Structure formats: structure tokens, C-alpha cells
Amino acid sequence: MNRPIASVSLDADNLWSYMKTHGDTGWESRPTYLPTFLPLVLDALDRRDVSVTFFLVGADCERDENRAVLATLVPCGHEVGNHSYEHEPWLHLYTPEQLEREIESAEAAILEATGQRPVGFRGPGFSWSPQLLRVLHRRGYLYDASTFPTFLGPLARAYYFWTAKLTPEERTKRSALFGDWKEGFRPITPYRWSLGEETTLLEIPVTTMPVTRTPFHLSYLLYLARVSEAAMRAYLRTALLLCRTYGVEPSFLLHPLDLLGGDEVPELAFFPGMDLPGARKRELFDGALVLLAEYFDLVPMSVHARALEARRDIPLRVPRLALGA
């Protein structure tokens, strides 16, 4: 019998987008760590022979300084997804026309830089809207991956507001950042969004722990690793065992700061977990990959999506935002 699969994806959030969200000046020239970060992660993945999906930001794909390294992703056996053009985590405030422009311009830039047209989308900061899903469907996307079913979104938002330098207007715009606590009631297993007139779009949520709905993506695991590596491993093993018990094939999420330390990106020293050196983070990353591979065959997101497409028992859901309360 085939082993169950887990998809692995990395949201290639760049230095400038963290600076922008944090309210730092100088982000407009799009400072980048992609030329140093991507070779490190490619090397770490190659060591374990794992192929993943890199969700790329369109604006990064148009910068000369990122070109050479972005061109290596697909030849190294990985695939690319669309992570918007501007990485603004309030796509739910966009008009349908703005959404169309955002998705289309990112798609063109990603294709030009990597040679591959993305078939999947993840909204920045897990932002999405029913209109966005319609744009994706119309443009022939295979799946969306923008939902994050946890009750902890507002906690992440509170922490972010506490550390960021923002005007009242900027705070209003960001008021739904990382989602409402009601997001925790969304399914953790994939389903189809029903978009009317018999059209649907596959949704692959970022998997949270069955039962507790607490996150187990690597950024979260690193918090635990700072307490103890044994605690981190025990927590990840519990999450994976619960996934196996409940028949959940997880979608496992990575971010650049999971592998980069404060020693390598001093500009982001304010970010949680940046007190760990990069080399230590990459050791922990390798350990997490080995543990994941003990329970699941690791695949990129489109392989996960196509396996789901072949199944008939995927439930339908009507898209509704769970914002504000």
C-alpha cells in the first residue's frame, strides 16, 4: 500500500516585505536576502532529496539581483506558486479588478523569472476572499492554499501590533491580519470551494494539529526548540501521529526565517526566534524534515493537489470570510 503524502511549501517572504509590514523605512528599494537564502534551502532540501513548492512574490521576480537564483529553482526539481505581486496581507480589502491585476502581474513575473507558470496560490498573511478564489479559478489555477485553521491568529496579530511602528490608518488596514479566531473552525483537511454555476476550486489548508488546532509549521516549532529541542521533536511527532490517526495528509509550511538567523539578517533582529544562529536553525530544519519523512512521502503542492483531484470524496464548502467580531 502507498504511504500517505505530505506536501511541503515555502513562502518566500523577502526582507523588504518584513520591513514594510513592520513599518520600517527603506523597504521601497526592495532589499533582498533571496540570493543568499535560496542556495542554503536548496542545499538543505537536496541533502534529503525533497522537492517543494516555493510561493514567490511577483515584485521579487522582476528584480535583477534575484534573477540568477530564481532561475535555479525549477531545474533543481522544485516548483513555484503565486504568493501575490506586492505581498500586502489584506487581499480581502481588494476589489475584483485589483485582485485580477495582482494575480496576473505576479503570475507573469514568476513565469518570466522561473520558466514555470504557477498553478497554486497562497495569500500573504493568509488573506483571501471569495472574489479572489473566482479570479484563481478563471485563470485556471489548480488549488488555493491561503487558509490557516487555528484559533491562535489573533495572538500572532497582537504580538505583531505590539512590535510594529504603525499609524492608526495602517493599524485599521491590518486589523484582520492573520485571521479571526473563528478561522479555527475551518476544516484542516482539503475541500472544494463552491464558486457557483458548478465551478469549484480545491483548497489545501496549512495543516494545524488535529483536535487542538495549534500550528506545527516550522516557525512555531522553533519557539519550542528555544525551550528544548526534545519538546519540539515530541510536539512535531505528536502532530504527525495525530495526522496519521485522523487520516490527514498534511501541508507543511516553511518561511525563510526558519532557516536564517539573526547573525545573517541583523535587520530583522526584532522578529521572534532571530536570536538563534542560522546554522542552528538549519540543523533543526533538517531534523524536522527527517521526522516528517518517517511518517509521510514528501511532495510539492501540485502533486498533493492532483492526488486530491483524483478522489471523489472531497467535501464542498461555500466560501465565507470570518472577519471581525
Q: Which is nearer to Zn ion, 126 or 285 (CB)?
A: 126
Q: Any contact of residue 60 with Zn ion (CB under 5 A)?
A: no
Q: How far apart are CA 192 and CA 200, in angstroms?
A: 6
Q: Which is nearer to Zn ion, 83 or 281 (CB)?
A: 83
User: What is the nearest approach in angstroms of Zn ion to the Cβ of residue 38?
Assistant: 15
Q: Any contact of residue 88 with Zn ion (CB under 5 A)?
A: no
Q: Any contact of residue 13 with Zn ion (CB under 5 A)?
A: yes
CA distances from 173 to 14, 25, 91, 131, 260 (A): 21, 18, 10, 18, 29
Q: Which is nearer to Zn ion, 124 or 261 (CB)?
A: 124
Q: How far apart are CA 325 and CA 322, in angstroms?
A: 9
CB 124 within 8 A of CB 84: yes
Q: Any contact of residue 205 with Zn ion (CB under 5 A)?
A: no
Site string for Zn ion, 149-188 (x = CB under 5 A): ----------------------------------------
User: What is the nearest approach in angstroms of Zn ion to the Cβ of residue 260?
Assistant: 15
Q: Site for Zn ion (CB under 5 A): how many residues? A: 3
CA atoms within 13 A on the CB side of 269: 3
User: What is the nearest approach in angstroms of Zn ion to the Cβ of residue 83?
Assistant: 6
Q: How far apart are CA 78 and CA 309, in angstroms?
A: 21
Q: Any contact of residue 11 with Zn ion (CB under 5 A)?
A: yes
- Find all residues with CB under 8 Å of 282, minimum gap 6, and list them: 40, 44, 259
Q: Any contact of residue 124 with Zn ion (CB under 5 A)?
A: yes
User: What is the nearest approach in angstroms of Zn ion to the Cβ of residue 87?
Assistant: 6
Q: How far apart are CA 77 and CA 67, in angstroms?
A: 17
Q: Which is nearer to Zn ion, 13 or 107 (CB)?
A: 13
Q: Which is nearer to Zn ion, 243 or 257 (CB)?
A: 257
CA distances from 162 to 22, 150, 155, 156 (A): 10, 20, 11, 10
What would you measure as the largest C-alpha separation in the chain, in angstroms? 56
Interface residue list for Zn ion (CB under 5 A): 11, 13, 124
